[in-house]
Amino acid sequence: MLGNEAVARGLYEAGVTVVSSYPGTPSTEITEFSANYDEIYAEWAPNEKVAAEVAFGASVAGGRSFFGMKHVGLNVAADPLYTMSYTGVNGGIVMAVADDPGMHSSQNEQDSRHHAIAAKVPMLEPSDSAECLSFTKTAYELSEQFDTPVIIRLSTRVSHSQSLCELSDRVNIPNKPYIKNVAKYVMMPAMAKGRHVFVEERTNKLREYAETSPLNCTIYNSTKVGVITSGAAYCYAAEALGNTVSYLKLGIVNPLPEKLILDFAAKCDKIYVIEELDGIIEEHCKALGIKVIGKELFGLIGELSQEIIAEKILGKTFDSVNFTEDIPVRPPVMCAGCPHRGVFYCLSINKIRVSGDIGCYTLGASAPLSSVDTTLCMGASVSGLHGMNKADPEGSSKTVAVIGDSTFMHSGITGLVNIAYNQSNSTVIVLDNSITGMTGHQQNPSTGVNLKGDVTAAVNIESLCKAIGIKRVRVVDPYNLKETDLAIFEELAAPEPSVIIARRPCALLKYVKHKPALVINDCKGCKMCLKLGCPAISNKDGKAVIDSVQCVGCGICTEVCRFGCINKADGGVN
Amino acid sequence: MVKSIMIVGVGGQGTLLASRIIGNALIKKGVDVKVSEVHGMSQRGGSVVTYVRFGETSADKVYSPVINRGEADIIIAFEQLEAARYVSFLKKGGKMIVSTQTIDPMPVITGNAAYPADIIAKIKSAGIDITAVDALELAVKAGSAKASNVVLIGVLASFAVMSDEAWIEEIEECVPPKFVELNKKAFYLGKESI
Ligand SMILES: Cc1ncc(C[n+]2csc(CCOP(=O)(O)OP(=O)(O)O)c2C)c(N)n1
Ligand code: SF4
Ligand code: SF4
C-alpha cells in the first residue's frame, strides 16, 4: 500500500479515535484513508494549528489522537506543538509531517527535523510502507511511555510509494481516565518552569532509549565503508551500494543516539552520512568527533537517488541515449474550463498587480496569464496586499489579492480582519471554486460537506466578510468575463475595502456537468484566445484549434474572440 | 534482478491508474514491488512520471522506489514529447511503448517554443526499440478517450510477463464497475494492435 495509507492503517491498528488534519501534498492521503475506518473520527480542520489543538484536546480527554500535514503546515502548527511538548499527553499523540525534497509540490524545501529538535519531541522516520505502519504503532507506545507527542517524518517518496505491508487487527484501547492536573496541562509560567525540567529529563531518557531501540538498526557487511542514513535516503543507499557496505539505519532521527553511532563509526574505516536536505545527522557525528563525509558530496538541495550515490561514492557513470533536440518544458497549467482562468484573464489584460496565494490559482503566475506578483505562504495574499497598500496608497487602485476558498478559511480571514480594522483601500478577490483543488479536491468549511462526505454547516463567505466589517461585498461568475471585469474595475475604484467573490465550482468536480466541446471556424489568426492559456486551445500553423477531448465548453474563449469564430460544433452560438 | 517500468505522460492522462494496475498485478505474483506515484501540482497538466519496480523472483528485494537514467527496462509514454523527454531513462536494450498522441505544452501554445517534429522516427533512429500505437483512437473505439491508459496496458501485455487473466482481474479491481467492460475492450484493442 501507499506509505500514507500505511500510516492510516497504523492509526487504525493502534486504536486511534480522533484524527484532525489540514491537506497538503504529500501528506493528504493519510487523513483520507483514515476516514475510511468507521472506528476513527476523522476531519479536515480549517488549518494545521486547529488540527494540532484538536488532537491535543482529544488526548487530554483520554483518546489516542493524530494530526497530519505537509512540512510548511508544521510552521502553522508549531505554536501548539512546542508547548504540547511541555504538557505531554494523556492518550497518545502522534503527528505526521511530510517533507518534499525536490519540491514536487511546495513553496520551499525546509527540513522538518529542525522542528523536532527545537520542540524537543521525538521524531521517527520510516523508509517504506511497512515501516510507516509499524513505526506509527510504535509511536503511540512511545508517546504514552515517555509522555510526549511523537512526530513521524515522511517525505514525498515514502508517502507516495507503494510497497508491501503486513496487516494486523485493531487494538481497541479504552480512553484513559481524565484526571485534572493543572501543573501538567495549564502552561502558565509557574507550571511551565516545572515542565521544562521534565522535558530536558525526557530527552535524556529518549536518547538512552534510542541507543538500543530496534528502530535504529545496524547491518554489517564489509566494514571498509560504513553508511549512516535514514528514511528514503536509506533506500537509495541500499539500492546503490547493496551489501558491499555496512549500514547504521536510524529510525529515530531525534534525539540521535551517541554510543550507537560512536560504536558503529569505530568499526568502520570510512563513514559516509547520507541524508536528504540538511546535514543534521552529519553535524551530530562531527560534534561527537567522528570524521564523516556527507554534504560536501551530496549537497543540501533536492532529492537523492541511487544514481547520485553510485556516482559520488563509486564513481559510476550511466550511459543512456539522449534526445538530441531541445525539448520544451511542460509546466503545470490550470485545467481546461478552470473557473480561475476568467479572473486572471481580466487581471492580466488590465495589468493589475496581484498579491497571490497558494492553490491551483498560483498557476496564474505562468505565461500567458503572467498576472501573479507575489506568492509567499497560505493567507499572505490578503495581509500582504494591506502592507502594499499602506506603503503605496496610490497603488491600491491597481492592486488586488487573490485567494482560494480553502486558503481563505485557512488563514485569509485574519488578514481581512486586519484590512477592515486598520482600513486599507484593499480589493480582495476570493476565488471560490467550492473545493480545495490543488491538493486533490478536499472539502473545506465553506463547501458544506465534511471529510466523511456528510452534509454540514457551510461558512457563508459573503456574510462572514460583512461581519468582519467589509461593506462592499459582491459575487460574480468568472465564466462571465464582462461581469468579472466590471466588478474588478468598480471595486478598485471604490474608496474603501471590498471583496469580490468569483464563484464557480472547479471543472474537475464530479457534479459539474460539462458542455460539448466548441470548435473554431474561419480563425482569423489574431491569437486573442491563446492569451487565455487554456490547454485545449493550440496554435496549428497560425490558426487556433480546440482539442475536443480536453475542451469542457466553458465558453470564455467565445467572449474573447472578436470575430465570433468560436461556436458550438453544430454551428450554434455558445 | 530488479526490473523497472516507467510510465510518463501529461497530468490528467491517467498514468497513475496505469501504474496502480501494473503494480497490483505484480504484487499478486508474489514478488517485491514498489510503485512511486506523483500527486499534487504536476497533476495539473504538467509532465508526470510514475515508477514501477519489481523483483523478477521472490528473492529479489526492491529498495529504491525511483528509476534513474539508463535504468528502465520498459518506458510507457502516453505522449510523444514525454517519450522524448524521458528516453534517457531507458536501459541499453530496453523497450519503449509510445502513444502517438501529442499534447502541446503551454510554451508551445504561447509560441515561445516549438514542438519537435518526427519524434518517434528520431527515437527509432537512435537505435531504440520503440512501438508506437494510436492509443487515443483505440480508446475512442472502445468507448472513451479516457481509456487510452488501459489500451497501453494491453500493448504492454503483448510483450510481457503476465497472463491476460491476471491483467483483466486487476482492471476489474481498479476501475469503477460501470467502466469495466469498456476498459476490457480497450485492453484487448491494445493487445491486438501489436
Ligand atoms: C501551511 C500550508 N498548508 C497546506 C499547504 C498545501 N496547499 C497548497 S494549496 C492548498 C489549498 C488550495 O485550496 P484553495 O485555496 O481552495 O484553492 P484551489 O486549489 O482550490 O484553487 C493547500 C492545502 C500549504 N502550501 N501550506
Ligand atoms: S483542479 Fe479545478 S481549480 Fe484546479 S486548475 Fe483544475 S479546474 Fe482549476
Ligand atoms: S470553451 Fe474554450 S476556454 Fe473553455 S475549455 Fe473549451 S477551449 Fe478552453
* Region of residue A436 (phi > 0: left; psi between -120 and 50: alpha; otherwise: beta): beta
Contact A277, A111 (CB under 8 A): yes
How far apart (Å, rounded) are the C-alpha atoms in residues B3 and B53? Answer: 6
- CB atoms < 10 A from the CB of A446, how many? 21
Indicate whether A573 pLDDT > 70. no
The partner residue sitting opposite A305, judged by closest CB among B66, B91, B103, is B66
Taking CA atoms only, the protein residue closest to ligand 2 atom 1 is A437
Taking CA atoms only, the protein residue closest to ligand 1 atom 1 is A73
How far apart (Å, rounded) are the C-alpha atoms in residues B71 and B74? Answer: 9
Domains of chain A, earliest start first: 3-212 (3.40.50.970), 217-314 (3.40.50.920), 340-503 (3.40.50.970), 518-568 (3.30.70.20)
Cell 539505519 sits on residue: A249
The pLDDT assigned to A185 comes to 98
Contact A428, A469 (CB under 8 A): no
Phi, psi of A208 (to 5 degrees): -60, -45
Q: What does the pLDDT look like over B152-192, one tens digit per residue? A: 999 999 987 788 999 999 999 999 999 999 999 999 999 99
The set of cell numbers assigned to A152 is 513521524
How far apart (Å, rounded) are the C-alpha atoms in residues A113 and A300? Answer: 14
On whether any CB of chain A is under 8 Å from the CB of B84, the answer is yes
Which chain A residues are closer than 8 Å to B44 by Cβ? 332-335, 360, 363, 438
According to DSSP, residue A412 is labeled I
Q: Is A481 in the pocket of ligand 3 (CB under 6 A)?
A: no
- CB atoms < 10 A from the CB of A509, how many? 13
The pLDDT assigned to A324 comes to 86
How far apart (Å, rounded) are the C-alpha atoms in residues B104 and B97? Answer: 20
- CB atoms < 10 A from the CB of A256, how many? 24
Pick the residue from chain B with its C-alpha nearest to A362.
Answer: B41
One DSSP character per residue, B76-98 reads EESSHHHHHHHGGGEEEEEEEEE
pLDDT, mean of residues A275-280: 98
- Which stretches of chain B are assigned E, i.e. beta strand? 2-10, 33-36, 47-55, 72-77, 90-99, 129-133
Element (H, E) at A353: strand A353-355
3-class secondary structure for A44-68? ECCCHHHHHHHHHHHHHCCCCEEEE
**A161 to B27: CB separation less than 8 angstroms, yes or no:** no
- What does each C-alpha distance from A290 to A32, A46, A88, A284 come to in angstroms? 43, 46, 34, 9
How far apart (Å, rounded) are the C-alpha atoms in residues A189 and A368? Answer: 55
Q: Is A435 in the pocket of ligand 1 (CB under 6 A)?
A: yes
Element (H, E) at B139: helix B135-142
Which has the closest alpha carbon to A536: A510, A509, A513, A566?
A: A566
Pick the residue from chain B with its C-alpha nearest to A543.
Answer: B109
Cell 474561419 sits on residue: A522
Q: Is A335 in the pocket of ligand 3 (CB under 6 A)?
A: no
On whether any CB of chain A is under 8 Å from the CB of B27, the answer is yes
Atom of ligand 1 nearest to the CA of A403: 15
**Chain A nearest CA to B64, separation (Å):** 5
- According to DSSP, the residues that pair with A435 across neighbouring strands are none
Q: pLDDT tier at A574 (50, 70, 90 boundaries)? A: low
How far apart (Å, rounded) are the C-alpha atoms in residues A330 and B106? Answer: 7
Q: What does the pLDDT look like over A325-373, one tens digit per residue? A: 999 999 999 999 999 999 999 999 999 999 999 999 999 999 999 999 9
On whether any CB of chain B is under 8 Å from the CB of A326, the answer is yes
Q: Are strands A65-70 and A41-44 parallel, antiparallel or unpaired?
A: unpaired
On whether any CB of chain A is under 8 Å from the CB of B113, the answer is yes
Q: What does the pLDDT look like over A90-124, one tens digit per residue? A: 999 999 999 999 999 999 999 999 999 999 999 99
Q: Are strands A65-70 and A225-229 parallel, antiparallel or unpaired?
A: unpaired
According to DSSP, residue B162 is labeled S
Taking CA atoms only, the protein residue closest to ligand 2 atom 3 is A506
According to DSSP, residue A510 is labeled T
On whether any CB of chain A is under 8 Å from the CB of B108, the answer is yes
Indicate whether A2 pLDDT > 70. yes
- According to DSSP, the residues that pair with A499 across neighbouring strands are A428, A473
Q: With a CB-CB cutoff of 8 Å, which residues 88-107 of chain A face chain B?
A: 104-105
- pTM for the full model? 0.96
How far apart (Å, rounded) are the C-alpha atoms in residues A69 and A347? Answer: 32
Element (H, E) at A192: helix A189-212
On whether any CB of chain A is under 8 Å from the CB of B124, the answer is no
Q: What does the pLDDT look like over A447-474, one tens digit per residue? A: 999 999 999 999 999 999 999 999 999 9
Contact A364, A354 (CB under 8 A): yes
How far apart (Å, rounded) are the C-alpha atoms in residues A42 and A35? Answer: 5
The pLDDT assigned to A193 comes to 97
One DSSP character per residue, A225-249 reads EEEEE-HHHHHHHHHHHGGGSEEEE
The partner residue sitting opposite A321, judged by closest CB among B39, B47, B87, is B87
Q: With a CB-CB cutoff of 8 Å, which residues 396-415 of chain A face chain B?
A: none
Cell 471529510 sits on residue: A451
- CB atoms < 10 A from the CB of A339, how many? 27
How far apart (Å, rounded) are the C-alpha atoms in residues A105 and B38? Answer: 10
Indicate whether A276 pLDDT > 90. yes
So what's the ipTM on this one?
A: 0.94
Pick the residue from chain B with its C-alpha nearest to A238.
Answer: B63
Which has the closest alpha carbon to A281: A251, A303, A301, A312?
A: A251
Of A66-75, A421-430, B50-59, the one with minimum mean pLDDT is B50-59
The pLDDT assigned to A489 comes to 98
Residues in CB range of A289: below 8 A, 6 or more apart: none
- According to DSSP, the residues that pair with A498 across neighbouring strands are A427, A472
On whether any CB of chain B is under 8 Å from the CB of A317, the answer is no
Contact B188, B154 (CB under 8 A): yes
Please state which CATH number belongs to domain B2-102+117-192. Answer: 3.40.920.10
Greater confidence (A54 vs A317) lies with A54
Question: What's chain B's Rg over C-alpha atoms?
Answer: 16
How far apart (Å, rounded) are the C-alpha atoms in residues A61 and A529? Answer: 58
The pLDDT assigned to A416 comes to 98
On whether any CB of chain A is under 8 Å from the CB of B145, the answer is yes
Indicate whether A148 pLDDT > 80. yes
The pLDDT assigned to A396 comes to 97
Q: Is A565 in the pocket of ligand 3 (CB under 6 A)?
A: no
Q: Is A551 exposed, middle or buried (0-12, 13-18, 19+ CB in 10 A)?
A: buried
On the CB side of A173, CA atoms within 13 Å amount to 25
Q: With a CB-CB cutoff of 8 Å, which residues 350-369 of chain A face chain B?
A: 360, 363, 366-368
**B114 to A360: CB separation less than 8 angstroms, yes or no:** no
The pLDDT assigned to A17 comes to 98
Peptide bond preceding A101: is omega within 30 degrees of 0, i.e. cis?
no
DSSP-based three-state secondary structure for A300: coil
The domain ranges of chain B are 2-102+117-192
Element (H, E) at A141: helix A129-146
Q: pLDDT tier at B42 (50, 70, 90 boundaries)? A: confident
The partner residue sitting opposite A330, judged by closest CB among B38, B46, B65, is B46
Which has the closest alpha carbon to B148: B137, B158, B157, B135?
A: B135
Which ligand is the nearest neighbour of the Cα of A529? Answer: 3
Cα A408-A411-A412 angle, rounded to 5 deg: 45
How far apart (Å, rounded) are the C-alpha atoms in residues A289 and A278? Answer: 19
**A333 to B106: CB separation less than 8 angstroms, yes or no:** yes
End-to-end CA distance of chain A: 46
Q: Are strands B33-36 and A161-162 parallel, antiparallel or unpaired?
A: antiparallel
Q: What does the pLDDT look like over A555-566, one tens digit per residue? A: 999 999 999 999
